[in-house]
Amino acid sequence: MTPYVVLSAILFAVGAVGLLVRRDPLVMIMSIEIMWNAANLLIVAAARFYGTVSGQALVFLVITLAAADVAIGLAIVMHVARRGEAVDVDALKELKG
Amino acid sequence: MALLAAPLVMALVLAWIRLPRSVVVGLANAAVAIAFIGALLLRHGDTVVGTWLLSVPIGFQVDTISQTFALVTTGVGLLIHAYSAAYMAHDRDLSRYFAGLNFFIAAMLLLVLADGPVLLLIGWAGVGFASYLLIGFWYERPAAVAAARKAFLINTAGDVSLMLAIALMVTSTGQTTYSGIFAGHVPAVAVAWLLFFAAAAKSAQIPLHTWLPDAMEGPTPVSALIHAATMVTAGVYLLLRFHPVLAAAPSAAEGIAILGGASCLLAGLMAIAQRDIKRVLAFSTMSQVGYMFMAAAVGLGAAALSHVVTHAFFKALLFMGAGVVMHALGGDERDLYKMGGLRQKLPATSAAMGVAALAISGFPLMSGYFSKDAILESLLANGHPWLWALGVVTAGLTALYIFRMYFLAFWGKPRTQPSHGESWLSFRWPMAVLALLAIVGGVFVRPFAWFSLTSGATLVLGLAGFIIAYRLYALRGPVGDAWLDGGVGSLLRSEFGFDAIYQALIVRPGAAIAALIAAGDPAATGGLATGISRSAAAFAEWLRGWQSGLVRTYALTILVGAVLALLWVAVR
Amino acid sequence: MTLALLGAAAVAAALGVILARNPVHCVLWLIAHLVATAAIFLTLNAEFLALVEILVNAGAVMVLFLFVLSLLGSSKEPEGLLGRRGESVGALVAALAFVGAVAALSGSSMAAAAVPAAFGSVQSVGVALFGPHLLPFELTALALAVAVVSVVTLAGRSRQP
């Protein structure tokens, strides 16, 4: 099981780094996709190693929710773009305390 | 217990829900009507509803005393509600007014129907709170606010006294119902005096009477309610309910009766010198309640109860009449010197007031004649000649002050032209009902005697008072008050200086201590409080820096947190 | 051996996503990453999920990305690939620490359980979904409905300021 755990962790870390260093929100959403995927991989591996199909059912639901997450994220990007603002998350900091 | 729930629920509804004005009036009246019907249908006995405070039963007890009080409260209360519909028709806060009125009735019903002192205390405090709300109803007027505060503070002093009395009774007997308490042994003298103190605060008896005249700042129907149906009679109820305790402490009972007699006489004297029509009536109430206290204290419950009933009729009528007069003179004119001659413009009101004045001064065969003479006769028969003498003298004073008021207001030359007459139907029918009751209300009290030495004496003195009032005031008006300019008159006008004494003994020292604390406070608690708030503000300022608005900084923070959590697990 | 190859491909594609300058290239790298992951799913007896991964994620979701990209036009990142330097360094350090911590924790050398041949088939996953896990399944449907409503609200034309 260890190789899967490590692989999953590496993929998760890559996604996290992408989320943290990129400024284009679209690429950030893709990075989040990678992180979702890393988690899915771990769950599928666990399902296989524990021999229960429930894990796969869970992953199915996670994929669904990830799709919803992407849809909302993209809608927000579209909304910001339509307001004529730069698509740059560092410029979007109106909620600064 | 529908009669209790209807006004209580309606008070809450009116307090929280905005309704059209006509609906407010209709609902408030309907609630009290339901309560009145419920009071009529009450059957004597006890009902226990539940338990609270671990083991104190919530129960209700209906006997002659409580049913009589419930009937007076709801019956006279209903008439006052109907009268209020017209009197307050143009007030912008109609809903708040009727909510207070209904709450008043509900609290009074709880007070009289409770089967133990704990539940009684809740009603007692509710009555005090309702009076605060209603006396200060016109909260834009500083005088009304001050009067409400004064009434509430003095009543709270009474509440504390009642709580102490209840604590003594409950701890010494281990019981929380009347029957249980009266079966056990209580420290009767202490409890009796504590009960008297509480009753005196609520019923405006010497030495705690000073709030009552000031309470005239409230709307006039509220005064009628306080004096006739609800609040002031609560003290009498307390003495009647706890008569076994009083009977166990004869010396205390004697002292209480003497204080009641003093209230009776002094209030009658003070009423003579008042210029304010409602203050005359306020002192009159105090004086009449003094009669009831005398009788209740020495164990003459039936006589006291009968005077409660008849007094409710004619005192409510007097206040309603005063309200019509004030209304006719442009809203809030209460100075008797500016009235006069209103007989022509307000004939029906004048007649009703005349009936009430005759009733209160004990004109033969009217209600006050029976109930007052019942008290005085029983006092004489039970060996209290001095109290009897006090009462008889006060009967003469009663005729003097009430007809002084009547003649000043309704006879003589008009000193102010009324702006409008007594046109409203709803003003009049409650007054007509009350006038009828003031005349024939004696049948409710089961006449004790048609004629006796007592009634002869009160009749002579009452007639004397009437004649003096007629000679001084009927034709000459305010000039008749010239005899009050001397030393005795100024003593009466200053109301025996009670307010000045309290001002000097209690209010000023209290204010001085408060000023001292206020001066020292900023340094002590104030410093602590500002220190806490400053450090909180500084911490918040530092924390604010973290809220950069940059999404990726937040994400990094989350990641670092996750890593730290993982590392902690790994190291552990 | 299969895992090493597929894993390396998945990691490489993921690195491609976060390193490519052009967002369209990012999408293409992401598709490659997802296909590699689907292949790993296959080695784990998850045929159904592998198909879903390709159909839903690599297919539908990526097409959605491409639509948005074409609507926004070419959007090169304003200046420089990365954000501020301190953050980038912090992110790298944190990511390395994360991988290290996970590797240190996953000490168990657990062997794969014996599973029936139908493990991971459409039927077995379906039975699990509609049997014991029906409530989460329905709740997911609710979450989707909420997402649809919010997307319509956000993207609706009438709400233009």
Which of the four pLDDT bands, split at 50, 70 and 90, describes residue C85? Answer: low
CA–CA dist B19, B40 (Å, integer): 30
Mean pLDDT lowest among B148-152, C34-38, C144-148: B148-152
Q: Which of B545, B550, B555 sits opposite A19 (nearest CB)?
A: B555
Beta-carbon separation of A95 and B547 below 8 A: yes
Q: Which of B548, B559, B564 would you mutate first to test chain C, the one with the most C CBs within 10 A?
A: B559
The number of angstroms, rounded, from the C-alpha of C56 to the middle of its chain's C-alpha atoms is 10
Partner residue opposite A89 with nearest CB, options B544, B546, B552: B552
Q: Among B335, B231, B366, B336, which residue's Cα sits nearest to residue B286?
A: B231
What does the alpha-carbon distance between residue B181 and residue B185 come to, in Å, rounded to a whole number?
A: 8
Q: How confident is the model at residue C38 (pLDDT cuts 50, 70, 90)?
A: very high
- In Å, how far is C16's CA from the nearest CA of chain A? 10
What is the reported pLDDT for B139?
Answer: 86
Residue of A69, A74, A78 for testing the chain C interface, max C β-carbons within 10 Å: A74
Per DSSP, helices labelled H in B361-477 are 367-381, 385-410, 425-440, 453-469
Using the predicted structure, report yes or no on whether residue C36 has a pLDDT greater than 80: yes
Distances (CA, A) of B157 to B436, B481, B534, C113: 38, 36, 39, 81
**Domain range summary for chain A, segments of one domain joined by +:** 2-82
Residue C145 has pLDDT above 90, yes or no: yes
The CATH code that applies to domain A2-82 is 1.10.287.3510
ipTM of the complex: 0.89
pLDDT of amino acid C82: 55
In this predicted structure, what is the pLDDT of residue C108? 65
**Chain C residues in contact with A41 (beta carbon < 8 A):** 37, 40-41
Q: What is the pLDDT of residue C41?
A: 92
Nearest to B215 by CA among B297, B294, B278: B278
Min Cα separation A92/chain C (Å) = 14
In what helix (H) or strand (E) does residue B62 lie, and over which residues does it extend?
A: strand B56-62
Which residue of chain C is at minimal alpha-carbon distance from A45? C44
A82 neighbourhood in chain C, CB within 8 Å: 160
Q: Each residue's pLDDT tens digit in chain B (572 positions)? A: 667 788 888 888 888 888 888 888 888 888 888 888 888 887 777 777 766 666 777 788 888 888 888 888 888 888 888 888 888 877 788 888 888 888 988 888 888 888 888 888 888 888 988 888 888 888 888 888 888 888 888 888 889 999 998 888 888 888 888 888 888 788 888 888 888 888 888 888 887 888 888 888 888 888 888 888 778 888 889 888 888 888 888 888 888 888 888 888 888 888 888 888 888 888 888 888 888 888 888 888 888 888 888 888 888 888 888 888 887 777 677 777 777 777 777 788 888 888 888 888 887 778 877 888 888 888 888 888 888 888 888 888 888 888 888 888 888 777 777 776 665 555 678 888 888 888 887 776 655 566 677 778 888 888 888 888 888 887 777 777 777 777 777 777 777 777 778 878 888 888 888 888 888 777 777 788 888 889 999 999 888 887 877 777 788 888 888 888 888 887 77
Q: How confident is the model at residue C32 (pLDDT cuts 50, 70, 90)?
A: very high
B300 is written with which tokens? 């003459």
Using alpha carbons, select from B11, B153, A53 the residue that is nearest to residue C124.
A53
Show the DSSP H helices in B88-215 as ranges: 94-113, 117-135, 142-173, 178-183, 188-203, 211-214
**Per the CB < 8 Å rule, is C102 touching B556?**
no
Give the per-residue pLDDT at C74.
59
What residues form DSSP beta bridges with B51? B57
Q: Identify which of B544, B549, B559 has the shortest CB distance to residue A93.
A: B549
Residue type, B14: L
Q: What is the pLDDT of residue C40?
A: 92
Is any Cβ of chain A less than 8 angstroms from the Cβ of B552?
yes
3-state DSSP call for residue C131?
A: coil
Compute the distance between CA of residue B498 and CA of residue A60 in angstroms, rounded to an integer. 86
C70 CA to chain A: closest CA distance, Å?
A: 11
- Tens of pLDDT, residue by residue over A56-87, are 999 999 999 999 999 999 888 888 887 776 66
Read off the amino acid at residue B199: A
Collapsed DSSP state (helix, strand, coil) of residue B56: strand
**Alpha-carbon distance C120 to B541, whole Å?**
54
How deeply is B561 buried, as exposed, middle or buried, from its count of CB atoms within 10 A (0-12, 13-18, 19+)? exposed
Say if the Cβ atoms of A87 and C120 lie within 8 Å.
Answer: no
C98–B563: do the CB atoms touch at under 8 Å? yes
Given this model, what pLDDT does residue C9 score?
A: 92
Cβ <8 Å between B569 and C105: yes
- Residues of chain A with C-beta less than 8 angstroms from the C-beta of B547: 95-97
Per CB distance under 8 Å, which residues of C are interface residues toward B? 83, 87, 90-91, 94-95, 97-98, 101-102, 104-105
Mean pLDDT of chain C: 82
DSSP state of C158: G
Tell me the angle at which helices B64-87 and B301-328 cross, rounded to the nearest 10 degrees: 0
| Token pair belonging to B305 | 């109860």
Searching chain C, which residue's CA lies closest to the CA of residue B556? C91
Tell me the pLDDT tens digit for each residue of C45-56. Answer: 888 999 998 998
Instruction: Show residues of chain A in contact with B561, CB under 8 Å.
Output: none
Q: What's the pLDDT score for residue B117? A: 85
Binary contact (B563, C90; C-beta < 8 A): no
Return the pLDDT at B537: 92
C1 Cα to chain A: minimum distance (Å): 11
pLDDT at B450: 63
Q: Which residue out of B548, B550, B556 would a mutagenesis test of the C interface target, given it has the greatest number of C Cβ atoms within 10 Å?
A: B556
For chains A and C, what is the number of CB pairs under 8 angstroms?
241
- Nearest CB partner across the interface for A3, out of C3, C10, C61: C3
Is-contact B11 B100, C-beta < 8 A? yes
Contacts of B562 in chain C (CB under 8 A): 98
The two three-digit tokens of residue A97, written as one number = 């305390």
DSSP-H helix ranges across chain A: 2-21, 25-50, 54-82
Q: What residues of chain C lie within 8 A of the CB of B559, using their CB?
A: 91, 94-95, 98
Does residue B565 belong to the interface with chain C, where contact is any CB pair within 8 Å?
A: no
* DSSP 8-state assignment for residue B208: S
Q: Hey, are the CB atoms on B570 and C104 less than 8 Å from each other?
A: yes
Q: Which of A31, A32, A90 to probe by mutation at the B interface, max B CB count within 10 Å?
A: A90
- Chain Cα centroid distance, residue B183: 31
The answer on pLDDT for C80 being more than 60 is no
Taking contacts as CB-CB distances below 8 angstroms, the residues of chain B near A94 are 549
pLDDT at B572: 74
Q: What pLDDT score does B342 carry?
A: 77
Among partner residues C10, C94, C155, which is closest to A79 by beta-carbon distance?
Answer: C155
pLDDT at A85: 67
Cβ of B552 within 8 Å of Cβ of C83? The answer is yes
Helix H or strand E segment including B15: helix B2-16
